Amino acid sequence: MIVKEVLQNGLTLITESMPHVRSVAIGVWLRQGSRHERVEQTGISHFIEHMVFKGTRTRPVEVIAAQVDSIGGHMDAFTTKEYAAFHLKVLDEHLPLAVDILGDIVTNPLFDPIELAKEKKVIFEEMGMVEDTPDDLVSELLAESFWPAHPLGRPILGTRRSVATFKRAELLAFFKSTYRPGNLVIAAAGHLDHQPTSELIRRHFGALKPGGRQPATRPPAPAAKIVARSKRELEQVHLCLAVPAFPHGHDDRFAAFILNTVLGGSMSSRLFQHVREKRGLVYSISSGLTAYSDTGMLSIYAGTSLDSVNEVLQLVILELRTLRDERLPADELRRAKDHLKGSLMLSLENTGSRMSQLARQEIYFDRRFSLDETLASIEAVTDADVQRVAALLFRGQAGCSVLGNLGGYRPRAAQLRI
């Protein structure tokens, strides 16, 4: 049973009772992310995500970790381009302590200057990890070139220059203006009842003063640019291709899900079978959909040798054209639908996944979609729908980023024309 309640101060609470489990996953979700930052604030949302764990008025940093460990809980947080989340998974009997801890870190962070200085070093190391992880780095390069001069093209972590300038007063001002009840969604799923959970939330979040409004945003204008970056120490060439895709609420999103599954979203996908299994040109190749409130991207990633880059590009573009120009065979459509439905149903056996789905549906749709409704939407997609969506997405020139020991190599625009 799913229950939604809006507190008097504007905070939204959504719970789902799952009587057959013993755990509870609960998360505090902020309806803002890195795309809502000004350019000089780049990375501040992610930095605050780190800092709330570094001590509160009542809990030193060591106590937060010790209390979570003492109950065998799992606590984590993340920041995306459109939202941030702080979540805990515990046994049902420990839900009161979980709400107490979440309420404390999200409403009473100290932003201690000593911890702030240390955390800058941690985030610089996190940036170094991205630099050392080629598939992450080539994706960052793609986003920056695909959405130039737009917040969606900027890194969530920020830059070394922007993070180095953060001061306590700036963090505190951003926090106080952003972490307001109208911007917060609390989602919980597991062995719980709504009313006792609501009483806990009111106790720890009810005193927050009303307020909170997302800053105005503008959709980006995609650019089919080619960006190449040489990194001599890399053995492989890593490449990403991208075309514009649909935002979260688009009517054709389920046809796009199936299109992506067929293209590169599974081990039986065309890219995996035709480029890796049949020709052995790559170890890893896949496609993925990224959706935001007002735009989206379908991207393809591959890692290959420098000698094989042109052939891989040729094969990828060929697959896009084939999906655009030919109907899906019935067995392939059936397999893609069953893959999507199976993956969805298996993921929702987990309380953490159920909690996340509650929050994301509230943030993007302001309503819940039942499992049966979602499965029916997948099942209703036809081969004509998939081809029509492919014709919408696969046209013109794809954007591309390339990373590796390139030796002067750079893809030509003609190679990326679909």
Domain with 268 in it: what CATH number?
3.30.830.10
**Are 181 and 277 within one domain?**
no
**Are 11 and 69 within one domain?**
yes
Q: Which of 150, 173, 205 is the last residue of a domain?
A: 205
78 within a domain of the structure (yes/no): yes
CA distance 273 to 322: 15
pLDDT at residue number 215: 78
**Are 137 and 245 within one domain?**
no
**Are 196 and 245 within one domain?**
no
Domain count, the chain: 2
**Are 54 and 194 within one domain?**
yes
**Are 252 and 355 within one domain?**
yes
pLDDT at residue number 355: 98
**Are 193 and 110 within one domain?**
yes
268 within a domain of the structure (yes/no): yes
Q: Which residues pair with 29 in a beta bridge?
A: 85, 185
DSSP state of 153: G
CA distance 195 to 300: 46
Q: 3-state DSSP call for residue 397? A: strand
216 within a domain of the structure (yes/no): no
Q: Are 69 and 57 in contact (CB under 8 A)?
A: no
CA distance 363 to 184: 9
46 within a domain of the structure (yes/no): yes
Q: Are 241 and 288 in contact (CB under 8 A)?
A: no
220 within a domain of the structure (yes/no): no
pLDDT at residue number 28: 98
**Are 304 and 170 within one domain?**
no
Q: Are 44 and 74 in contact (CB under 8 A)?
A: no
**Are 321 and 403 within one domain?**
yes
CA distance 175 to 240: 35
CA distance 312 to 223: 22
Q: Are 43 and 34 in contact (CB under 8 A)?
A: yes
**Are 234 and 192 within one domain?**
no
34 within a domain of the structure (yes/no): yes
Q: What are the pLDDT tens digits along the chain (418 aa)?
A: 999 999 999 999 999 999 999 999 999 999 999 999 999 999 999 999 999 999 999 999 999 999 999 999 999 999 999 999 999 999 999 999 999 999 999 999 999 999 999 999 999 999 999 999 999 999 999 999 999 999 999 999 999 999 999 999 999 999 999 999 999 999 999 999 999 999 999 999 999 999 987 778 899 999 999 999 999 999 999 999 999 999 999 999 999 999 999 999 999 999 999 999 999 999 999 999 999 999 999 999 999 999 999 999 999 999 999 999 999 999 999 999 999 999 999 999 899 999 999 999 999 999 999 999 999 999 999 999 999 999 999 999 999 999 999 999 999 999 999 9
> Strands across the sheet with 84-91, in order?
2-6, 12-17, 184-190, 23-30, 84-91, 74-79
Domain that holds residue 156: 2-205
Confidence (pTM): 0.95
For the annotated catalytic residues, the residue numbers are 49
**Are 255 and 140 within one domain?**
no
**Are 239 and 96 within one domain?**
no
